[in-house]
Amino acid sequence: MRHRERHRLHHSGWLRAAVLGANDGIISTASLMMGIVAAKAEPSAIVLTGVAGLVAGAMSMAAGEYVSVRSQADTEAADLAREIHELENDVAGEHRELEEIYVARGLERNLAHEVAKQLMEHDALGAHARDELGITDINSARPLQAALTSAATFATGAFIPLLVVLLHPVEYLSFAIVSVSLLALVLLGGLAAKVGGANMWLGAARVGFWGAAAMALTAAAGHLFGVVL
């Protein structure tokens, strides 16, 4: 029978990048515009700040995620190349190494020997990658996927406070940016927690708190250092 059980760990790779991107997009763009609003800038300057923050932030997230995950992928590739070399030159030693891993995990020596033998006959590199290096299809590094996911979700998140500025009257702009952005952050935090199997309320409160703190501090900076020409 086909194994149908699915675990939340399957979501970990793309979920981390998606949540980080959307969360950063909302917080950084809303905070930037709150600082400009507090500085009594013109509406056109506020919109320009939001657009610039969206574009720059999306590219920064993409570049940062790609470089970071690419480094992980390079490390995995180097370790796999080493394993290939060892399998080609010392099969017996690699068998003993795998056997010792299974013994340490609780198998009897004879059973560990047989398990290591059969797994190496089936897929030696896959067995060592999984059980010695901890590299699996679930957690293997995917730089391009992480970069594109982060950029797209950052832009989506950043568009929320930007849309508020485009549609809302300037008189109550501060309240509108804060309320809509916090609502989006709380919903995002709760959704991410639910998908990941964590407490929804705690996840929502955590994201909402840091979002509110970021917007408050940036607004204070804009108010203190803002200059009206």
pLDDT in tens, the chain (229 residues): 444 555 444 445 566 667 778 888 999 999 989 888 888 888 888 889 999 999 999 999 889 888 888 888 888 888 888 888 888 888 888 888 888 888 888 888 888 888 888 888 888 888 888 887 777 766 666 788 888 888 899 999 999 999 998 888 877 888 889 999 999 989 888 887 777 677 888 888 888 898 889 888 988 888 787 654 4
Q: Which residues contact 176 (CB under 8 A, 6 or more apart)?
A: 164, 168
CA distance 19 to 150: 8
Residue type (1 letter), 3 = H
Cα 190 → chain centroid: 16
CA distances 40 to 81, 135, 227, 228, Å, are: 58, 53, 8, 7
Q: How many CB atoms lie within 10 A of CB 3?
A: 5
Structure tokens at 197: 């199997």
Question: What pLDDT, on a 0 to 100 scale, did the predictor assign at position 59?
Answer: 92
Residue given tokens 């957690």 in the structure block: 139
**What 3-state class would DSSP assign to 142?**
coil
Answer whether 60's CB lies under 8 Å from 147's CB. Answer: no
- For 194, other C-beta atoms within 10 Å of its C-beta total 14
Tracing tokens 């406070």 back to the chain, one arrives at: 161
Cα separation, 176 vs 56, whole angstroms: 23
- The predicted pLDDT at position 229 comes to 41
Indicate whether this model's pTM tops 0.85: no
Q: Are 165 and 35 in contact (CB under 8 A)?
A: no
pLDDT of residue 139: 63
The per-residue pLDDT for 13 is 54
Strand blocks (E) in 83-215: none
Q: What is the number of alpha carbons within 13 Å of residue 116 lying toward its C-beta? A: 25
CA 78 to chain centre: 24
